[in-house]
């Protein structure tokens, strides 16, 4: 079984081992946590291309030593011509989940790298050249990566949905069949794209030769995105949401992410007075707190420019008290309500100076829209399918509107001086898994790796699934399972380390400089430390 990794000079955690080690090499070369994270993010876009890619989005929490984190929102907005009328004229009642019409939002990920790189150089003394940060990703894309089980399973399992998407089979079925476990996946076009960015600069993705190539390919495929949409995009500096829970400072991203739900969940659960982990009260309390948080999320969270109330209005003590009081300690509330799907990658880094980064990067569903651009090799996201074509819906589609995001990185500053970046992939599972890791480690004192490895549950959707039951890994004892069923939970059992439960990770830096790290045995990842 995995053990908590401990080190003194720095650590990087990622759901793929080559991504984590790429970040570690940057730390060893004198880079900071942000620089390490850029290298890690570039590599994982190559090694886990079904979950994240250059055509996706990302969000960052960057916490300089001893300071509250700053946020970077690299979420791409809807195309200027993407409107309800546009899709209605094409006789669609909802936005197609795959294909060119699903590729309706700008990929903001590269702008997140750009913003973080600028922050590193201006605030953290970063000096590593961009070319060096992208070097390992370029080499792996050109030389090939060993196909993981998750990539192989999803290429095969989603083939029927994606085969008609332009460029998909050419990229992910190079021998006339979906890639298989341990195949060598070559991505020469991605290698060339990254090499071009290393030379021309990251802004070229939006306002340069690469931008023109991307726009031409998107238009040629039938996407509503244009060069003008790329040119108007900028990553945003944002103030993270914050909540104090039992003396600990918790941070997450503001809308359009579901970071609000993650904070509400923990704030409500803290008020339930649960005494022990792994008990009925623990699981039931967190599940019911999830439902309470999701009700707020599903009624209010969207592009903040369109929200009637600021997200901070829901993080008051009075609001949390009311939500906690609505929970029956013995009975499950009815479910489901409206929900969302998706998957992604979460990445974390801590350097010797105490700077910490929590970052998440995604193309939404597995392989996103399935559209692979012929010149650049970029797989484009389908994040815009989270929009509704109902004009009365709180998240209805409008030109240049930013889509609702399930993805959100988490970070905590604890009262004893520790800093803890943590997170996971997995749609609606993200707030839940974040809460499991945080409560097990911080509230109930479990070893960090134990908290990540421990059996998990999932209420609602993930991985493009329509399942809304309460899924439990079968490592939970039968007495607990029976008690949950007796309380009215619609329980479904899954395997002992089921990937549907996400790919989580966490790092903790102590005041004396000790760094602890944990990776998820459900992934292909590791903690790379020195």
Q: Residues 47, 105, 302, 344: which is the catalytic one?
A: 344
Q: Which helix (H) or strand (E) holds 372?
A: none
Q: How far apart are CA 334 and CA 245, in angstroms?
A: 27
Secondary structure (DSSP) of 211-236:
HHHHHHHHHHHT-S--HHHHHT---E
Measuring CA to CA, how many Å separate 345 from each of 60, 304, 307? 12, 24, 27
Q: Which helix (H) or strand (E) holds 157?
A: helix 149-157
3-state secondary structure 471-525: EEECCCCHHHHHHHHHCCCCEEEECCCCHHHCCEEEEEECCCCCEEEEECCCCEC
Q: Please, which residues bridge with residue 128 across strands?
A: none
Which is nearest to 412 in space by CA: 297, 270, 256, 229? Answer: 270
- Which distant-in-sequence residues (6+ apart) come within 8 Å of 514 by Cβ? 6, 7, 8
Q: Measured in whole angstroms, how far is the alpha carbon of residue 286 from the centre of its chain? A: 21
**Which structure tokens are listed for 55?**
């055509």
Question: What DSSP state is assigned to residue 386?
Answer: G
Q: Are 196 and 208 in contact (CB under 8 A)?
A: no
- Which distant-in-sequence residues (6+ apart) come within 8 Å of 355 by Cβ? 32, 33, 34, 62, 63, 64, 65, 124
Q: Are 37 and 23 in contact (CB under 8 A)?
A: yes
Measuring CA to CA, how many Å separate 232 from each of 100, 110, 205, 207, 400? 21, 14, 12, 9, 9
**Which structure tokens are listed for 480?**
């607990």
Helical axes 33-47 vs 188-200, angle rounded to 10°: 150
Question: What DSSP state is assigned to residue 16?
Answer: B
462 carries an active-site annotation:
no
Q: Are 190 and 167 in contact (CB under 8 A)?
A: no
Task: Work out whether the CA dihedral 510, 457, 499, 386 comes out positive or negative.
Answer: negative
Q: Please, which residues bridge with residue 242 across strands?
A: 251
Quote the Cα angle for 50-51-54, to 5°: 90
Cα-trace Rg, the chain? 21
What φ, ψ does residue 221 adopt, rounded to 5°?
-75, -25
Query: Which residues are catalytic, by number?
Result: 344
């Amino acid at each position: 079984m995995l053990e908590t990794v401990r080190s003194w000079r720095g650590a990087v955690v990622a759901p793929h081992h080559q991504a984590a080690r790429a970040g570690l090499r940057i730390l060893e070369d004198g880079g900071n946590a942000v620089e390490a994270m850029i290298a890690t993010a570039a590599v994982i876009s190559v090694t886990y291309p079904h979950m994240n890619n250059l055509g996706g989005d990302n969000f960052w929490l960057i916490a300089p030593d001893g300071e509250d984190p700053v946020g970077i929102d690299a979420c791409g907005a809807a195309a200027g011509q993407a409107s309800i009328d546009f899709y209605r004229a094409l006789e669609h009642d909802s936005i197609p989940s795959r294909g060119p019409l699903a590729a309706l939002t700008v990929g903001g990920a590269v702008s997140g790298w750009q913003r973080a790189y600028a922050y590193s150089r201006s605030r953290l003394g970063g000096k590593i050249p961009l070319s060096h940060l992208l070097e390992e990703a370029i080499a792996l894309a050109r030389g090939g990566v060993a196909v993981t089980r998750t990539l192989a399973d999803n290429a095969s399992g989603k083939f029927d949905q994606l085969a008609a998407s332009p460029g998909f089979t050419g990229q992910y079925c190079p021998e006339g069949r979906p890639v298989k476990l341990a195949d060598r996946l070559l991505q020469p076009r991605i290698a060339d794209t990254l090499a071009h960015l290393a030379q021309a600069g990251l802004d070229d993705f939006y306002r340069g030769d690469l931008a023109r190539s991307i726009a031409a390919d998107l238009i040629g495929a039938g996407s509503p995105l244009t060069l003008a949409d790329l040119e108007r995009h900028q990553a945003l500096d944002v103030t993270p949401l914050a909540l104090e829970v039992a003396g600990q400072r918790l941070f997450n991203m503001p809308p359009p992410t579901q970071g609000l739900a993650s904070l509400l969940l923990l704030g409500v659960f803290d008020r339930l007075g649960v005494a022990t982990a792994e008990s009925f009260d623990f699981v039931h309390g967190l599940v019911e707190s999830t439902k309470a948080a999701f009700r707020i999320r599903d009624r209010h969270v969207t592009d903040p420019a369109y929200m009637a109330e600021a997200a901070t209005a829901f993080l008051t003590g009075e609001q949390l008290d009311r939500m906690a009081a609505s929970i029956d300690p013995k009975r499950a509330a009815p479910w489901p309500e409206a929900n969302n799907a998706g998957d992604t990658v979460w990445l974390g880094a801590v350097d010797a100076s105490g700077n910490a980064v929590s970052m998440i990067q995604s193309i939404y569903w597995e392989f996103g829209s399935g559209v692979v651009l012929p010149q650049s090799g970029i797989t484009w996201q389908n994040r815009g399918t989270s929009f509704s074509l109902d004009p009365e819906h709180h998240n209805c589609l409008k030109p240049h509107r930013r889509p609702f995001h399930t993805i959100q990185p988490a970070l905590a500053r604890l009262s004893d001086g520790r800093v803890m970046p943590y997170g996971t992939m997995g749609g609606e599972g993200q707030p839940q898994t974040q809460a499991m890791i945080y409560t097990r480690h911080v509230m109930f004192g479990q070893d960090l790796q134990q908290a990540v490895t421990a059996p998990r549950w999932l209420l609602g959707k993930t991985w493009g699934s329509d399942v809304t039951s309460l899924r439990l890994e079968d490592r939970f004892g039968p007495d607990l399972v029976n008690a949950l069923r007796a309380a009215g939970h619609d329980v479904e059992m899954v395997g002992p380390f089921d990937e549907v439960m996400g790919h989580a990770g966490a790092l903790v830096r102590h005041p004396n400089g000790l760094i602890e790290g944990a990776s998820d045995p459900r992934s292909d990842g590791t903690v790379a430390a020195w």
